Structure 1
Amino acid sequence: MISLIQTAEGALNESHSILQRMRELAVQSSNDTNTESDRAELQKEVDQLSQELSRIGNNTEFNTQNLLDGSFEGTFQIGANEDQNLTIDVKDMRGQELGMAGASEFSETVTASGSTELVDGTYTVDGTDLKDSNGNVIATTTDNLTFTSTGTAAETIVFSQKIEDGKITIQGGEATATAKFDNGGLEAGDYTINYSAGASTITDSNGNLVASSADDTIFKNADGDTVLTLDAAATTDMEISVGGVDISSQSAANSAITKINDAIETVSAERSKLGAYQNRLDHTINNLGTSAENLTAAESRIRDVDYDLAAA
């Protein structure tokens, strides 16, 4: 039993180190000496660290039993008689539960219906406006799905999922943007929406089933929890990616510091609980050892008394 606790605690020690590194990156990114490109590179490391948090949580096992995905609860016999036992549970210590998984993202490329007004370039989505690098509005939208140029040609870009922030890049008559969805339970990593009318599924990068949908819009896991809701029903296979906690801007990185601190405190509390269990069990073992020694001594005295009486 102590070995089981040590296995869990050892894994959490590494999770603790990962969170400390993520905090360093968030503090660095919250400094405006960094450019957008700098923050993008910092975000890459955070994304990978979040994936590793989830991998540790999913793969830490003792005798084939997973210890850190929230499913472990064990009862251990610590005495010789009925009900002399101890129950131990370990909370979910994966990235999503710790708040270290970011939004679900889907990169979509569609046809831009012209090149007179929607010329090649990279543009920024600002509310209902699409602006160029000089802040000029080149297109507007009422639903964040269809963007219509402000000129007389009324050229359009039509996405299947809402583009509410970020960049739209136009190149060679095609427009590419990233749609973001609230993440209800997906760990950091890459996923595929496998489209099948009325029966679409989500699988992870290893092909494991993660969630399914009866309407191609709302995807639920095996527990019935909604992990992803699309803006519009899927009509084809889609590649979805989930990164780590967002540090891609000064404000996002500033907020991430608090989120990471909370995660560190959660892991610290779980490690403290496991350490307390281990210390208790050490004393239990010592006590049982003393009891066994005293019982042996008592049994020896009784045997000696029986022998002496028989001899008399």
Structure 2
Amino acid sequence: MIINNNIPALNTYRQLGINQNAMQASMEKLSSGLRINKAGDDAAGLAISEKMRGQIRGLDQASRNAQDGISMIQTAEGALNETHSILQRMRELAVQSANDTNTPEDRAELQKEVDQLSEEISRIGKTTEFNTQNLLDGSLDNKFQIGANEGQNLSLSIEDMRGFSLGMAGDAQFEAEGTYTAGSGSESIVDGEYTVQENEEGTYELINSDGDVAATSTDALTFTGDDSETLVFTDTVTSGKVTVDTGGTSVGNATVDNNGLEAGTYEIDKTNAVLKDSNGNTIAKDDGSGVYTNSAGDTVIDLSNSYSDLADGDSVEIGGTDISSQEAADAAITKINDAIETVSAERSKLGATQNRLEHTFNNLDTSSENLSAAESRVRDVDMAKAMMEMTKSNILSQASQSMLAQANQQPQSVLQLLQ
């Protein structure tokens, strides 16, 4: 018999520690619901599980991204729906104006509505936004991240859907000065109000208040009367009203090519050498000669011929597509048809992309669900099995404690030999 080392007690104590550790591990799993709570539980399983978790969270975020993309597309497509409605109304007005039962005054009233509608198309294109991003001004060129990994994205760009790009912004008009020079006899150009209109031959006529042709022009700059008298303008006057002052300065509505301005009213600011819109925003800069360029350096309007006659505060009017005559209205029908087809093509592209994103969204959710199930099999604990193991460990631990008490009693038998 020995008493310095109680081998049965040491053995029982070791087993007790093992059982308690096993019971603690089972309790940790049951309380967390996870089979792997630390790398020591399953090093390889932990690495696999974390990769799966990264994929799952990436798929879930990609699903939200797809939904955000759908919302953006719906915003743009909804705005284009209204643009379509405006274009249909403009086409209706063009068909109406192309009928010669209308007088010039009737067409002028129709033109006013076309001008306002064109301005609204531009406003919609300029102000339609999603999360502060402009959608319809041609600047949108986005990528939707629709996957959990690098490069898994979808590109979307939207063309410029404003009035000028659709061909619905007309030429620029402003007040131009004219100089009268008398002819050799009884002039047909006298003081008074006139109207300029284009005839079927492509030339221009100066019509007096009686409806008679007082002068004609081939270039809309120089109008020549019956007795060789002339009225020469600084810029082309192709339509609108003309006030003739044979003893002073005549005025008319000059027309110059519009190379990039949307429908609306613009103010000339010679002091700061800029062109401003109705809200006071700088649209273009003057190079010093009356040639105005935008931020990209493109010329949007050239007023160099009349620049010396223009002053601070003078305005430039940009109307809608021209329907002021039978010929112009007839041509406008085709132009508006082209604009409708352009908007239709863009809406079709957006609709196709939206349908694709809806399928993408469904696929991402399915992939996330299946991958979550796989990750669960690696990481999550089988609660029934863990409870069974904890019960076993608990019973063994209690048995070990009992046996340890018994083992500690064995050295006392030595006392019997000392009696």
TM-score range, shorter chain: 0.7 to 0.9
- Over residues 104-139 of structure 1, what are the superposed CA-to-partner deviations in whole Å (9 max), with x where a residue is unaligned? 01123567678x9523242547758756433344xx
Alignment match of 2:251 (pick from 176, 184, 199): 176
Provide the secondary structure at the position in 2 that maps to 1:242: strand
Alignment match of 1:83 (pick from 130, 151, 165): 151
Gapped regions of structure 2 (runs ≥ 5) = 1-68, 393-419
Provide the secondary structure at the position in 1 that maps to 2:305: coil
CA contact (8 A) 1:211 1:220 kept: yes
1:161 maps to 235
* Residue 39 in structure 1 maps to residue 115 in structure 2: no
Provide the C-alpha distance between the structure 2 equivalents of 1:131 and 1:20, rounded to a whole number of angstroms.
33
Matched ranges for 1:1-312 at <5 A: 1-108=69-176, 117=187, 118-122=190-194, 124=196, 127=203, 130=206, 132=208, 133-137=211-215, 157=231, 159-164=233-238, 166-170=240-244, 175-196=250-271, 200-230=273-303, 232=305, 234-235=307-308, 236-237=310-311, 238-302=314-378, 303-304=380-381, 308=385, 311=389
Provide the secondary structure at the position in 1 that maps to 2:351: helix
Provide the secondary structure at the position in 2 that maps to 1:246: coil
Provide the C-alpha distance between the structure 2 equivalents of 1:128 and 1:44, rounded to a whole number of angstroms.
22
C-alpha deviation, 1:43, in angstroms: 0.7
| Closer, same or farther: CA 43–233 of 1 in aligned 2, 3 Å | closer
| Closer, same or farther: CA 31–233 of 1 in aligned 2, 3 Å | closer
* More deviation, 101-110/63-72: 101-110
CA contact (8 A) 1:216 1:233 kept: no
Provide the C-alpha distance between the structure 2 equivalents of 1:259 and 1:128, rounded to a whole number of angstroms.
23
Provide the C-alpha distance between the structure 2 equivalents of 1:86 and 1:200, rounded to a whole number of angstroms.
43
- Over residues 230-257 of structure 1, what are the superposed CA-to-partner deviations in whole Å (9 max), with x where a residue is unaligned? 2515123231100000111111111111
- Over residues 125-171 of structure 1, what are the superposed CA-to-partner deviations in whole Å (9 max), with x where a residue is unaligned? 7758756433344xx7798656676659x6x6553323355542336
C-alpha deviation, 1:69, in angstroms: 0.2
Partner amino acid, structure 2, of 1:16: H
Q: What percentage of residue pairs aligned between the two structures are identical?
A: 55
Gapped regions of structure 1 (runs ≥ 5) = none
| Closer, same or farther: CA 143–48 of 1 in aligned 2, 3 Å | closer
C-alpha deviation, 1:2, in angstroms: 1.2
Partner amino acid, structure 1, of 2:252: A
Provide the C-alpha distance between the structure 2 equivalents of 1:161 and 1:286, rounded to a whole number of angstroms.
61
| Closer, same or farther: CA 35–144 of 1 in aligned 2, 3 Å | closer
Provide the C-alpha distance between the structure 1 equivalents of 2:328 and 2:217, rounded to a whole number of angstroms.
25
| Closer, same or farther: CA 84–223 of 1 in aligned 2, 3 Å | same
Provide the C-alpha distance between the structure 2 equivalents of 1:162 and 1:65, rounded to a whole number of angstroms.
40
Provide the secondary structure at the position in 1 that maps to 2:96: helix
CA contact (8 A) 1:218 1:230 kept: yes
| Closer, same or farther: CA 36–150 of 1 in aligned 2, 3 Å | closer
Q: Larger relative contact order (C-alpha < 8 A, sep ≥ 6)?
A: 2
Partner amino acid, structure 2, of 1:160: T
Partner amino acid, structure 1, of 2:333: I
Provide the secondary structure at the position in 1 that maps to 2:89: helix
CA contact (8 A) 1:125 1:168 kept: no
Structure with the largest fraction of strand? 1
Provide the secondary structure at the position in 2 that maps to 1:187: coil
- Over residues 23-81 of structure 1, what are the superposed CA-to-partner deviations in whole Å (9 max), with x where a residue is unaligned? 11111111112111111111111000000000000000111110000001111211111
- Over residues 174-219 of structure 1, what are the superposed CA-to-partner deviations in whole Å (9 max), with x where a residue is unaligned? 53311111110000000112224xx732111111111112232321
Partner amino acid, structure 2, of 1:180: T
TM-score by length of 2: 0.65
CA contact (8 A) 1:121 1:171 kept: no
Partner amino acid, structure 2, of 1:296: S
| Closer, same or farther: CA 194–245 of 1 in aligned 2, 3 Å | same
Provide the C-alpha distance between the structure 2 equivalents of 1:97 and 1:142, rounded to a whole number of angstroms.
29
Provide the secondary structure at the position in 1 that maps to 2:317: strand
Provide the C-alpha distance between the structure 1 equivalents of 2:351 and 2:256, rounded to a whole number of angstroms.
38
Provide the C-alpha distance between the structure 1 equivalents of 2:134 and 2:328, rounded to a whole number of angstroms.
33
TM-score by length of 1: 0.86
| Closer, same or farther: CA 193–270 of 1 in aligned 2, 3 Å | same
Partner amino acid, structure 2, of 1:289: D
